[in-house]
Every structure is written in C-alpha cells, then in structure tokens.
Structure 1
C-alpha cells in the first residue's frame, strides 16, 4: 500500500516535471528563443502556451483521478448499503430508487430493504436524521440488523426491537439522533401487518382504477432513538393488497419536495394519474416519480428521497372440479 501511494505521488509529479524540462530546454538550446524579432516572440509565446497548458493538464489529472476513485468507492458503498432488490420476491414485483441530497453521492440517510422469509415478505423503509453523507453509518447499522432479524424473529415486534438495540449500540448514547422506521409484513394471502415509528404510511394503488389511499394511516409510534419502545408492541393489521394492487413506500423528502414557488410535490395526485391509466408497473412507477420529482424541484432538493414499489402478482388458481371428483372417487374405492 505504501509503495503504491509512493508510485502514485511520483507519477503525479512526472508530467509537470517533463513540461518544465521542455520549457527550460527550449529557452537554453533553441536559437529561436535567443532572438528578439516578432516571429521569434510569437514562436516562443506558442511554446510557452503549450507548456502552460500541459502543466495545467498535469496538475488537474491527479485530482480528477482521485475524484474518479472516490466515486468508484461511493458506488461500491451504495451496492453494499442499498443493494439492488430482486425484481420479484415470493410473487411480488419489486422496484426501488432514491435521490441523494448530496450532489456527489448516490446514497444518503434513506434506507430500504425487502426480503422473502418464512413469515412472509418483510420490508423496511427508514429515514435517518439529516441528509447526504453524514447519516450513512447509521443507515448501515439499521439495515444490517434488519437483514438478520427479518429471518430470525418470528414476530414483527421482535424485528423492531432488534433494530432499536442495533441503533442504540451504534449511536452510543447520542440522544439527538433518531431514525424513522416503517416495517411491513406481507403474508401469502396479501394481508399486511405493520409497525410504524414516525414514518409516512405507504400508499395503495387500486387495480385498474384511480383509487389511491393511505394504507392504515393510524398514529405512528415515535421515531427510534429518543424514546424506548413500549412493552406491548403488537403489529397492526392494515388490510390486504389484492392481486394487481401496488404499495408505494416513500420517505418524507418526497412529499416535502418543493418547487421554485414553495409548493409541495403533489404525490397523491401524481399517483392517482398513474393508477388511472392502467395497473402500474413498479419499475415504471418509480422511474416516473423520480422524473416528476426532478421536474418539480428543478433538480434542486434539500433532502434525500427514496421510493419502493411492490405489486401483488400472486393469483389464486381456481379449484378444478375434475380433480375434486377424481379425489372423491379414489377415496370411495
């Protein structure tokens, strides 16, 4: 590692030194450089302009290489923190996307994950206090805990308590920090159970209609961090998503996004327009919302934004009457 850094440092000085040597050699050895005529002056000016351009290019090349390296590191961190979700999870079509308030980063304080478990598809979406690069460590701690607890814990409340313990260990007593968290459990019949700590409730888009409503909408618990979880923590039944219906989870940066006149982003109206055309495809829905957010804000937004769409593609197979008759006949014999 030390040798690589030394070689990189030597290489960063090599090109400027070469151009400097060219300038000195021209001045000392070229007869044209010793003359005072107009043509000689023009030629000397052209040579030194080329040398100056080469020096500037050499000086800039090092920082540009470093910037490219840092961006590659940021992309690797994104793949670990917000790894790409599979397009399908246990009969659910899935798509996600985010916009970071930090212009040079692809990740920030928003987090999401969805995993298929023995207890159903479990989903988390959260929002760490702050935006940009600072909250990434906290988001990583919460996501790492969820990825284990979602499989290990039989009850959804057990998952949330694991997230709280992981957060407290990470924060080390910093009471001013907090995370909003929404946990969902989608079972085989489409039943949705939730635990919500200060996060916006998701929207449900009806199949082949313009019906868009909030899922559940009850008063959430306080965010994780400042206050301990209550002793009794039953998951709330929020109804069902039927085949063809879509759940759209989001962080509060989406609805808080403003245009140049200070108007908030019309998320409900945008979703209604999307649902009125046809059954939304999750990928298309996320892409269209991202585009609408960029147009609404003019590309200038002050908070991270995350979107996660899940469509129920499970279909019940009707019972075949012939199979029932055959079963009865065989049992009777």
Structure 2
C-alpha cells in the first residue's frame, strides 16, 4: 500500500514534466514546417525544447514547495502561540494534550484548549469552532486570548464565559465587516458560525465545577470510565445569547489518582472504513492507572488505527490527572468515639455538678 502511494506521488510530480516534453518532441518531429530540416537538427532542437520545458516546470514546482514549507512554518509558529502545550504539571495536576487537524499538512485546526493555574483554582477550557483549518484560526485566537485574560481577573466562572462570548461575537462582527462593508447578508456563513465551549474549575480540595455550551462532557477515569455528568449543556456560543444566570455546575470531586479526559467530538465521531464510530470510552478503559502521556499515546494510536491515519474532523484531547496528596483525615470510627465521649462527659457534668470550693 505504501509503495502504491509513493508511486502515485511520483507520477503526479513527474507527470506534467513528461507530458510537456512529449508534446515538444511530437511537435518537432511531426509538424510539417519542421520536416524541412534534417533529422539530426530536429532531434537536437527537440532535446533542447524538452530540457527547457522540463526545467521550467521543475522550477515552478520548487517555488511552490518552498512556499508550502514557509506556510507550514508559519502554521507551526501560530500553533506554538495559540495551542501552546500545557506544562507537565499545573498546581498538582499532571497534564497532556494533543491536537490533530483534519486538513492534511495543516498544524492548526478549529479546536482549542488550555490549562491555567489561578488563585481561584486550576481552570481549563476545551472548545470546537465550526469548520477546521486556517479558516477557524481567527476565532481560536479570539477565544483563547479572552480566556487567558479572564481566568485571572474573574472569580466567577460564569463571568469568564461571558467575556469569551463577547470576544467571539466581536470577532464575528469584525470578520463580517471585512467581508461585507455594507453588512453581512443573512445567509452569509459568518452569521452561522458557532463554537462549543467547556469550562472547568478544579479547586484545591478537588471539587470540580463546570459550564458547558454544547460540548461533550469529559470522562472521569480511575478503575472505571464514567461521564463527568449527564446534565444537559447550554447552547453553543454564537447563535443564542447566554442566559442571565450562569451558576457553575458542581460535578463532584477529582480524587487523587483520578483523571479527567476532555475531548472534541471529532474523537467519538471518527469512523473506520465500514462507518463504525470510534469507541473512546473503551480505549480509555485500556489505559486505567496510566500516566497522562501514556494514556494519550494509547488513545491516539487506537484512533489512528481505527481511521486509517486520516480523521475526517479535527481532534483534540486534554488529560488532567490529580497527583495531589490525599488530605489527612481522622478515621470515622475514632471521630464518632470522640464525639460520643464528649457528649457523655457533658451529660455527666450536667447531672452531677461539681461542688464549688470554699475559701
């Protein structure tokens, strides 16, 4: 299979040059006006014509390849700024993340993620902009820029989401004004853009609080794999305004040793050649107890094997594992015994008061 692909690529590269040379030789040998010259002259001019045409085509190909390499370098630079890899540890949480673009050769897609340690706790975002490739880069930049600033300023997770919503709306207005100076038409694709966003806050005690706008809920993994919650998410950002009240949803604790796996729908919507969806939950079940990077490697390997190495949608994965030590606690039996002894002493003192000493 690999040899067939390489042969096809070589044919596509050498095909135009060969065709140009073949036409040049045919012209020089068969054209009536060229029959007046001798055979040696015609062969010589044909070879010269073939060499010049082939050189021109190869030069154009070299220029295009150079521009493609430059574009990829720019895309990699943009990725390092926008989707910068999270540090290995963030305030006691081990992290690992990856993003795969559906556009072949592209480095940046429509998915976004980040993890930031703040005085309010560790805050994470996972989002999916409609579309993929460089066309979604502006929306990703607007959303991540707003998130990275708001998580430090806003103690309330709902206010972080509102600032991201305003940044996305402002990006759409500016894009519409640039494409249609007189106003975007109602059927214009700009007016139909949306983004799904998941915001998480992991507090020092391990408590998880979340706001979800149309995004898949993450998985919480340990010995088993379960969805973080089954609550209905809010609508995606863009088409509908946010509700007036945005209380963060409490999703229980992230205990030491447990992991949260955030992902975009491209992971679960990936299909194989028979149209079967990728079972992300089953793949995570085979990584129980592993470190985040090992988990990520195992899941990516299974995903690429399922899709044949060519996913049809952008895929992003972010894993957060709680490595914080367990807080010291008194056993429940001893605590109950202490409470019982204190209550008994209080009843004894009330029933038999001690005499007051006389001086």
What TM-score comes out, normalization by structure 1 length? Answer: 0.78
Q: Secondary structure at the match of 1:306?
A: strand
Q: Aligned equivalents of 2:121 and 2:198: distance in 1? A: 16
Cα deviation for residue 316 of structure 1 reads 3.3
Deviations 1:200-258 (A, max 9, x none): 0000111xx2x110012211111111111111111011011111111100001111111
1:162 is aligned to: 163
The 5 Å alignment of 1:80-229 reads 80-172=81-173, 174-206=190-222, 209=223, 211-229=224-242
Task: State yes or no: 1:271 paired with 2:284.
Answer: yes
User: 305-314 or 171-180, which moves further after superposition?
Assistant: 171-180
User: 282-291 or 302-311, which moves further after superposition?
Assistant: 282-291
Q: Aligned equivalents of 2:137 and 2:144: distance in 1? A: 10
Q: Say whether the 8 Å CA contact 2:112–2:126 is kept in structure 1.
A: yes
Given the alignment, which residue of 239, 242, 250 partners 2:255? 242
Deviations 1:55-83 (A, max 9, x none): 44323221111111111111111111111
Cα deviation for residue 97 of structure 1 reads 0.3
Q: Say whether the 8 Å CA contact 1:246–1:280 is kept in structure 2.
A: no
What TM-score comes out, normalization by structure 2 length? Answer: 0.72
Deviations 1:138-173 (A, max 9, x none): 111111100000110011011011111111111128
Q: Aligned equivalents of 2:145 and 2:298: distance in 1? A: 30
Q: Secondary structure at the match of 1:97?
A: strand
Task: State yes or no: 1:260 paired with 2:273.
Answer: yes
Task: State yes or no: 1:70 paired with 2:74.
Answer: no
Q: Say whether the 8 Å CA contact 2:72–2:107 is kept in structure 1.
A: no
Q: Aligned equivalents of 2:108 and 2:154: distance in 1? A: 28
Q: Aligned equivalents of 1:303 and 1:59: distance in 2? A: 32
Q: Secondary structure at the match of 2:115?
A: strand
Deviations 1:110-129 (A, max 9, x none): 11011000000000000111
Q: Say whether the 8 Å CA contact 1:102–1:133 is kept in structure 2.
A: no
CA gap of 1:41–1:225, structure 2 versus 1, over 3 A, is: closer
Q: Say whether the 8 Å CA contact 1:216–1:239 is kept in structure 2.
A: no
Unaligned runs of 5+ in 2: 1-36, 177-189, 330-359
Cα deviation for residue 50 of structure 1 reads 5.7
Q: Aligned equivalents of 1:204 and 1:214: distance in 2? A: 6
User: 228-237 or 292-301, which moves further after superposition?
Assistant: 292-301
Matched pairs, number: 278
Q: Aligned equivalents of 1:117 and 1:304: distance in 2? A: 29
Deviations 1:286-312 (A, max 9, x none): 122222111111123221110000111
The 5 Å alignment of 1:11-50 reads none
CA gap of 1:122–1:295, structure 2 versus 1, over 3 A, is: same
Unaligned runs of 5+ in 1: 1-34, 320-333
Q: Aligned equivalents of 1:260 and 1:98: distance in 2? A: 22
Q: Aligned equivalents of 2:115 and 2:195: distance in 1? A: 18
